[in-house]
Structure 1
Amino acid sequence: MNAANKTVLITGASTGIGRAAAELFAAKGWTVAATMRTPEKSNLGTVSDRIKLLKLDVTDPASVERAVEDVIAQCGGIDVVVNNAGYGLIGPFEAQSDDQIRRQFETNVFGVMNVTRAVLPHMRERRQGRIVNVGSAAGRLTLPLYSMYCATKWALEGFSEALWLELRQHNIKVKIIEPGMIKTDFFERSREVATKPGLTAYDEFVSLVMPNLQAWEDAGAEVDVVARSIWRASTSIWPRLRYQPNATLAVWARGWVPGHLAVRLVRRLFNAW
């Protein structure tokens, strides 16, 4: 794609992967609609005059519609949407409340769907566009204490692949980014472990696993690695669906290693006995 007059809308652009992607696209000459729930608290707009901050809450369809309409009006169109907003609910499933589980799906799954539905009429009319969904290697394999996060990312995999098939007729491409462990504030934002009064049966398991999850994130790749994958997915002419920054080997192994051995490997890596 020629950078001239190209616009990308990125959700969850306040920190981490979203911010890194916004800075990269701006450096490449694109107009960036960097969306977040509280743009007034972000200094991202000072990085480049190509970055426009907009308020968008992916769980609020009205907020999504307003933001998409504003971007189209201000920028003349949307060429790429990067569905990046998300977080991880940590803790034993039994300890998680209905509200916590619903919020996890509202953000990580229905939020992606809200944004995608809002931009599709515009992209269909123009007969061009790309939807880049930031999933996770946890959408292809699983981690202890991340049952609901993994469930949302597995759902995103199915949604994205089916969408990839049905939108080809309209010249709209769908891509999935499946990062492995990345150094972001993701773990810190998800740090509060779900608990339930009187439920102590998982305490020892949590105390053994949590330090290992933190250590793996601390040893992860920098966010720029994911931002570059998002850039390639957004601009490459190669008909590729999935990109796996810092996760290629793990995802490949999960597809070939027998299930019972894969489970044993994860248990050993995270001390999840």
Structure 2
Amino acid sequence: MTRLQGKTIVITGASSGLGYEIAKLAAQEGAKLVLLARRLDRLQLLKQKIEQDFAQKDVLVYSLDVSKRTNVEEVFAEIFTRCGSIDVLINNAGFGVFDYAHEAKWEETEAMFQVNVLGLIACTQAVMSHMQARRSGHIINIASQAGKMATPKSSVYAATKHAVLGYTNSLRMELARDHVHVTAVNPGPIATDFFATADPSGAYVANVGKWMLQPEKVARAIIQAIGTNKREINLPKWMNAGSVFYTLFPRVVERLGRKAFFKK
């Protein structure tokens, strides 16, 4: 028996990347999984893999577009009907597009806020009152180091992640009274297909590829934090140290790091 045995864990954006790795590790720990993403075909493949590799029979999959509030409400209502309760919500769905601020397309700007911010809030609101009533639960929001320190060509993406951190920090204080844990995850760049959309040119990956985190490492840190009152997960540590230094000495960091920051 493990800490997660029998716990119902809902993961958005589970069809690939970090969400995919979190799902596999949670299954290994005996959790009951509810996997959400727009691409149902990929979720079905992940469900099959988990059932084969871990003899896990409690995997539910739903197609969900978190940017559509009515879709969120319908899917979560179905989850509660099927599962009765949700122990952990991992808000992982999100995407980014790297452009200079003056070149950012409005439709992409709007879509990033709809998915990264409003979608996360909608999913959180769908489970929050249930967790408060039970006086237990854990909400884990995937933010970013970009939410702590913005750099060129990420103005909109960074703005969405700043919003996620602001929402998460307020939520943590509110829900502490109800014994519901809230954790922010702030990773640096992760080696996933995120950058196929964020930077189709491949320039960013070419420049920072050797420093990218492996999704398995981030997923393992998240799994270890479930059920604890961990405030934040910051990876890699050296990058988070840079974010802390930036908070204290922003002009110095902007001046010294200008050349590196423009390598996106």
Q: State the TM-score, normalizing by the size of structure 1.
A: 0.87
| 1:48 partnered with 2:50 | yes
Match of 2:241 among 252, 255, 259: 252
1:139-178 aligned within 5 A = 139-178=147-186
Distance 1:271 1:148, change over 3 A: closer
Structure 1 equivalent of residue 260 of structure 2: 269
Match of 2:230 among 234, 240, 252: 240
**1:26 CA displacement:** 0.5
**1:192 CA displacement:** 4.5
Distance 1:86 1:212, change over 3 A: closer
1:226-237 aligned within 5 A = 226-236=218-228
Match of 2:137 among 108, 120, 129: 129
SS of 1:47's equivalent in the other structure is helix
**1:68 CA displacement:** 1.4
The answer to whether the 8 Å contact 2:245/2:253 transfers is: no
SS of 1:19's equivalent in the other structure is helix
1:1-273 aligned within 5 A = 2-42=3-43, 43-49=45-51, 50=56, 51-192=59-200, 211-217=203-209, 219-236=211-228, 239-246=229-236, 248-257=237-246, 258-271=249-262
The answer to whether the 8 Å contact 1:181/1:221 transfers is: yes
The answer to whether the 8 Å contact 2:112/2:160 transfers is: yes
CA distance in 2: counterparts of 1:265 and 1:88, whole angstroms: 26
RMSD after superposition: 2.0
The amino acid across from 1:249 in the alignment is: W
CA distance in 1: counterparts of 2:204 and 2:113, whole angstroms: 25
Distance 1:212 1:4, change over 3 A: closer
Aligned residues: 254
The amino acid across from 2:217 in the alignment is: V
The runs of 5 or more residues in structure 2 that have no matched partner are: none
Structure 2 equivalent of residue 199 of structure 1: none
Q: State the TM-score, normalizing by the size of structure 2.
A: 0.89
CA distance in 2: counterparts of 1:214 and 1:143, whole angstroms: 17
The answer to whether the 8 Å contact 1:183/1:219 transfers is: no
